[in-house]
């Protein structure tokens, strides 16, 4: 069984999370510059078996795609083209940043650490991926 890679794509930074080999839980992996994400994913896939991508997809409260999709859709198309055998799953990412921030507070991170947006991006990717895993369970 391969890992599943969770992606919280942003215009500047991309938060990444990954499952354990048994696909039970999601863990933060890294935060990468949006310019470097293609190479990072290619390098990661060269060393790890990735079974699927789970990408946070921004929607508004009325379930319509938000304005941010104009940045994410080209990334998704490029990902599908570069790795055609790897399925891509989209997950509603509403409120994941707030949930990540709350997780940091509950985890006891100091105020200075909570201001590090790369940590928020990794935790958001973990929340996105874990929510997909939880829905997938029978």
Task: State the pLDDT at residue 112.
Answer: 65
The encoded tokens of residue 133 equal 């895993």
pLDDT digits (tens, 9 = 90+) for 54-86: 999 887 777 777 777 888 999 999 999 999 999
Task: State the pLDDT at residue 20.
Answer: 93
CA dist 76 and 55 (Å) reads: 8
pLDDT digits (tens, 9 = 90+) for 98-123: 665 566 556 665 666 656 676 778 88
CA dist 8 and 16 (Å) reads: 6
For residue 42, what are the domain limits?
Answer: 3-136
CA dist 45 and 3 (Å) reads: 10
Look at residue 45 and tell me whether its pLDDT is greater than 90: yes
Query: What is the CATH classification number for the domain harbouring 19?
Result: 3.30.420.140
pLDDT digits (tens, 9 = 90+) for 11-37: 899 999 999 999 999 999 999 999 999
Task: State the pLDDT at residue 39.
Answer: 95
- The number of folded domains in the chain is 1
């Amino acid at each position: 069984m391969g890992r599943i890679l969770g992606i919280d794509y942003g215009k500047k930074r991309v938060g990444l999370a990954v499952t354990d080999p048994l696909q039970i839980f999601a863990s933060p992996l890294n935060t990468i510059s949006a310019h470097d994400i293609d190479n990072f994913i290619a390098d990661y896939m060269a060393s790890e078996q990735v079974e699927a991508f789970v990408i946070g997809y921004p929607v508004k409260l009325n379930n319509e795609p938000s304005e941010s999709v104009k940045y994410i859709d080209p990334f998704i198309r490029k990902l599908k083209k570069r790795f055609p055998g790897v399925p891509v799953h989209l997950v509603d990412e509403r409120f994941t940043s707030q949930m990540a921030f709350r997780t940091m507070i509950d985890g006891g991170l100091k105020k200075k650490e909570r201001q590090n947006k790369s940590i928020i991006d990794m935790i958001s990717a973990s929340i996105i991926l874990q929510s997909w895993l939880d829905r997938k369970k029978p």
